[in-house]
Amino acid sequence: MIISTDTKELQIQLINKDIPNVLNSLGLMGKIKYGYIKGKNNYICVEKLEQYKHEYTSKKPTKKEILGILLLEQIVKEGKHGDIEEISPSILNEFNVIGDHIKHVSCDPNLCRPKKCNKECLYKNRVEELKEEDITVINHSLLAKWPYKEEKPLENIIVDEGHNLAEKGYDFFSSTIEYKALKYFLKEIYPYEYIGNSPFIYEKYKTSRKIKYFDKFYHHVHFGRDIKEKISRNINLILEELNSVLRFGIESDYNYLSKYNLRWEFNLQQSEVLGNVKKEDEYIELTYLSYSNKIRDSFDKILRNLIAILVIIDRNIDDDSIDKESDIYKFGKARIKELEDIRTTFELFMEFTEEDDFARIIEIDKNYTNFEAKVVPLKLAKLFEENILSQVESGIFISATLSVENNMNYFKNTLGINRVENIEKVIEPLYNYKNKVLTLGLSDLSNYNNKNFTTDISNTIYKICEVTHGHLLSLFNSTDRLDKTYEDLTHILNGKNIDIYKNKKGIRNLKNMNQNCVVLGSKGCFEGVDVPGDGLVCVTLDKIPNLNPKDPLYSTIMKKYGLTYQSINYPQMAIKVKQAMGRILRSKYDYGCFIIFDIGTNGHTLKKLERDLHGCKINIVSKNNIQNYTNNHLNICRKQVMREVLVDVRNLLTITDIDDIKDIEQFVVEQMNQRYIKCRVTSNNHDKLNIKYFNHRYTIPKEKIKLKSKV
């Protein structure tokens, strides 16, 4: 069986926690073999490490550089699987040079052939183990490619966090050309002898350029200076064109408008206006057209030069005297294959018909230091069916957000699951959302594109914090808004005994019951945040996460297939809001407020959304009333939570032989801590427990441990 989950962190959580729990409860621990595997580039390659170390000796390495290499050697000899993440973060911090080493020694997916490799390699052993393993845990991006078909065919799969496959599926099957990566690749294959001819890549490093592995390949296949000169000339021309794409942005009117990255569908959005520029006292509209034309012209030249390089290599490589079984030959051939793939992506990018099923997306960094050209296949269902569904005997897709508007059509249609025999099963929510989550939308905050919006958000978060004392997660659809709010809120909270953190690393502080803190998070915090009990009592969302109608991918889908904005937008928006709200209820004792700062103006959509939020009504309130609403809801929930937790603790107590009141006190304190319930438990006299839980006080006679509220 293969279990696929969304991220590497979730893979580890399944291996360390969830699978052992299930196996233990089924009495199967020790009888079922399980493990995880990641993509090849997550492992250290022994062969590359040996070669790297050998080449390193010719330089003058520092102590830290040497220690870094020794540490990597230790991992490939004594580590578990030779996984890069076996290096602890503290060591990575201490020896930041290791990061550089890793770039050179991580396994190359194009070169590594574990079956043919004769090295003693932990990764190779791990691949062998797959055959014998009962459960293998992988991540979604690996599932989309599944490179270990021979060792472990995709037969029975469980896909955890299945909704992410629909969202990220387009990325998994896309082909991308990135300026910096392509430049790096060309540098690797640039013939050593002609460094001096290349003003683009080596001007800074002329003196330190050493012979690359690909130079050895040129030598191995007997390429003379004339052939290498031609190749270097073609590479230089490609570089010139690549650089000119960015230079064009800097030297043209686009430079005045690029507050954000430029991003558009190369053919279908080229006539769209991205802004106005002032010319001789007149404002004129600027479209993407001239940038598209420039790129078309440059890519055309790049493609011609790529083809020229491949033709030169092809014509000259077929020499019978070449040893084609040697490692260096295989290395060179793998690089040439990469070059062919790059050419294919350029070709696909440049081909275009109204009817084809691709989006061609250009993204140019706002500082004009990088760009990306992406070919995105739009028939995701077909690809998913061909690559995954057609190979499996059974597949189970699970997630808390597969169903939208009471059905799973969006999920099933996107991934082609509707094309195969399937059964839908909805598991009713374990928790009572309507009682435990109060959902609020604010009626009088400025609109999200108003410049005061983040100041308004900051002031409102502070008001909420006066009630909750932190323990608040604030989610943002835009990192720009997150950063501005962080800045404002840092000033507001200064000296108020509430700490503020940005992004996922701050989450662990929410679990500290003795610390009051607010965490601001973006995309990565909509999922995988699991803070139980009183650790998290309020989640806010900056705005309803609607898709931008001009988003290059989705606007292409709408145009090509005649779909409405609403039909594309609603399912994704509802899933995101559900995920955000879902951060509050993670366990039986959880409760809290879910607050949306800008709820938009579409009442019909909000009504629909309420049904998708487990029937929770979205109460529209004024910012002046936010404290009352929050306070009331938390008070009501806390009474209920304490009632529930006391019943559970009492049930546990009855099956122990604890009798002394001090021991009972200790037991209750431990149980409360385990459940992240922020209360004070004392037993000043000999027959009663006193519990203070926020502004609720309880006195419980020892023999009963029964709830008696004195609120």
Binding-site ranges for ligand SF4 (CB under 6 A): 43, 45-47, 107, 112, 114, 117, 119, 121, 123-124
Looking at the Cβ atoms of 119 and 639, the one nearer to ligand SF4 is 119
CB of 329 to ligand SF4, least distance (A): 15
β-sheet bridge partners, residue 175 = 375
Residues 6 or more apart whose Cβ sits within 8 Å of residue 58: 210
Please name which of 570, 583, 565, 564 lies closest in space to residue 612, comparing C-alpha atoms: 570
CB of 217 to ligand SF4, least distance (A): 17
Pair 481, 542: CB distance under 8 Å = yes
Q: How far, in Å, CA of 127 to CA of 118, rounded?
A: 14
Residues 6 or more apart whose Cβ sits within 8 Å of residue 472: 461, 464, 465, 518, 519, 536, 537, 538, 539, 540
CB of 42 to ligand SF4, least distance (A): 11
Q: How far, in Å, CA of 19 to CA of 27, rounded?
A: 12
CB of 144 to ligand SF4, least distance (A): 21
Write b or e for each residue in 522-556: b if 16 or more Cβ atoms lie within 10 A of its Cβ, otherwise e.
bbebbbbbebbbbbbbbbbbbbbbbbeeebbbbbb
CB of 345 to ligand SF4, least distance (A): 25
CB of 103 to ligand SF4, least distance (A): 15
Pair 266, 294: CB distance under 8 Å = no
176 is written with which tokens? Answer: 């991308």
| Residue that has been written with the tokens 């323990």 in this structure | 471
Looking at the Cβ atoms of 126 and 484, the one nearer to ligand SF4 is 126
CB of 136 to ligand SF4, least distance (A): 18
CB of 277 to ligand SF4, least distance (A): 52
Helix ranges (DSSP H) in 263-365: 289-317, 327-350
Q: How far, in Å, CA of 277 to CA of 284, rounded?
A: 5
CB of 337 to ligand SF4, least distance (A): 16
665 is written with which tokens? Answer: 């006190």
CB of 324 to ligand SF4, least distance (A): 18
Looking at the Cβ atoms of 116 and 259, the one nearer to ligand SF4 is 116
CB of 150 to ligand SF4, least distance (A): 14
Looking at the Cβ atoms of 117 and 268, the one nearer to ligand SF4 is 117
Looking at the Cβ atoms of 103 and 704, the one nearer to ligand SF4 is 103
CB of 115 to ligand SF4, least distance (A): 9
Helix axes 179-189, 213-220, angle to 10 degrees: 50
Looking at the Cβ atoms of 130 and 661, the one nearer to ligand SF4 is 130
Looking at the Cβ atoms of 327 and 644, the one nearer to ligand SF4 is 327
CB of 43 to ligand SF4, least distance (A): 6
Q: Which amino acid is at 549?
A: P
Give the total residue count for the chain: 711
Helix (H/G/I), strand (E/B), else coil: 627: helix
What kind and span of H or E run contains 537?
A: none
Instruction: Specify burial of residue 290 (Cβ count, 10 A radius: 0-12, 13-18, 19+).
Output: middle
Looking at the Cβ atoms of 45 and 437, the one nearer to ligand SF4 is 45
Q: CA separation (Å) from 132 to 1, 15, 82?
A: 11, 17, 19
Helix (H/G/I), strand (E/B), else coil: 111: coil
Residues 6 or more apart whose Cβ sits within 8 Å of residue 440: 593, 594, 595, 596, 618, 619, 620, 621, 626, 629, 630
Pair 709, 639: CB distance under 8 Å = yes
Looking at the Cβ atoms of 105 and 646, the one nearer to ligand SF4 is 105
Looking at the Cβ atoms of 149 and 505, the one nearer to ligand SF4 is 149
Q: How far, in Å, CA of 670 to CA of 426, rounded?
A: 36
Looking at the Cβ atoms of 86 and 229, the one nearer to ligand SF4 is 86
Q: How far, in Å, CA of 248 to CA of 242, rounded?
A: 10
Looking at the Cβ atoms of 121 and 580, the one nearer to ligand SF4 is 121
Helix (H/G/I), strand (E/B), else coil: 399: coil
Looking at the Cβ atoms of 105 and 574, the one nearer to ligand SF4 is 105
β-sheet bridge partners, residue 618 = 439
Residues 6 or more apart whose Cβ sits within 8 Å of residue 275: 257, 285, 286
CB of 131 to ligand SF4, least distance (A): 16
Looking at the Cβ atoms of 115 and 204, the one nearer to ligand SF4 is 115
Looking at the Cβ atoms of 330 and 702, the one nearer to ligand SF4 is 330
Looking at the Cβ atoms of 46 and 575, the one nearer to ligand SF4 is 46
Pair 372, 200: CB distance under 8 Å = no
556 is written with which tokens? Answer: 């292409």
CB of 151 to ligand SF4, least distance (A): 13
Q: How far, in Å, CA of 68 to CA of 64, rounded?
A: 6
CB of 321 to ligand SF4, least distance (A): 26
**Given phi > 0 = left and psi -120 to 50 = alpha, else beta, which region is 529?**
beta
